[in-house]
Chains A and B, each alone.
Chain A
């Protein structure tokens, strides 16, 4: 089946630093999404990307849909303590034939030191 490799697995950074994480797949996706999970909560959608090459921002977050459709990147600028959590990439292949099933990466655990 499809697999998503997400890196890094964890990051411990200083407040104010920029963060980059990425996700690669062995096969192509039609949609890439980035979710954030905070302790004791379920994942919440941050950014959705629907077109190869697309670059989308949400506040301090910027994500890109790789041109090959096999990868995606998430950048967080000027990190703050509330950015702490686990960030998951997710890919969706064919929403018509496979419902809305998402394949998730293993997550990047972000820790921010004030």
Chain B
């Protein structure tokens, strides 16, 4: 158990809909990262938040947005969903915004299926 909690674990929805994925980082971790893993693909970095502020941005679509709340949990909002958005979405956390260990603690992921 990494200590990172993601909900929901599974989500099935239709094209055009909007969903929200939730992440609670490990206790004490200030940074939250979102990654997308499509079928047979590696992990694509979406976005990082540190203590409530956006810290780094990857190839995140304009239809997607995220935020980190004062209690440090984070939400990833996916809107106008398309079939290609079906993927595993991972949240990860780390103690600080610039730790030099490179270690991220991943949740179990939220599997999104768009029909």
Give me the interface of A with B, judged by CB distance under 8 Å. 1, 4, 6, 31, 33, 40-45, 48, 50, 88, 90, 92, 95-96, 98-107
Contacts and interface: CB of A to CB of B under 8 A. Distances in A.
A95 B58 CA distance: 15
A106 B37 CA distance: 10
Interface residues of B, number: 32
The 7 closest A-B pairs by CB, nearest first: A42-B106, A104-B43, A106-B42, A99-B55, A99-B56, A31-B102, A104-B42
Contact of A45 (B4, B45, B104, B109): B104
B17 interface: no
B102 A90 contact: yes
Given A42-B2, A42-B4, A99-B50, A92 B102 contact: yes
Given A40-B108, A42-B109, A95-B99, A101 B33 contact: yes
A99 to B, nearest CB: 4
| Chain B CB within 10 A, most for which of A6, A92, A98, A101 | A101
Interface of B: 2, 4, 31, 33, 35, 41-45, 48, 50, 55-56, 58-59, 90, 92, 94, 96-104, 106-109
Contacts of A43: 43, 90, 104, 106
A88 B102 contact: no
10 contacts: A4-B42, A42-B2, A42-B107, A43-B104, A95-B98, A95-B99, A99-B55, A100-B48, A104-B42, A107-B42
A2 to B, nearest CB: 10
B98 A100 contact: yes
A102 B104 CA distance: 9
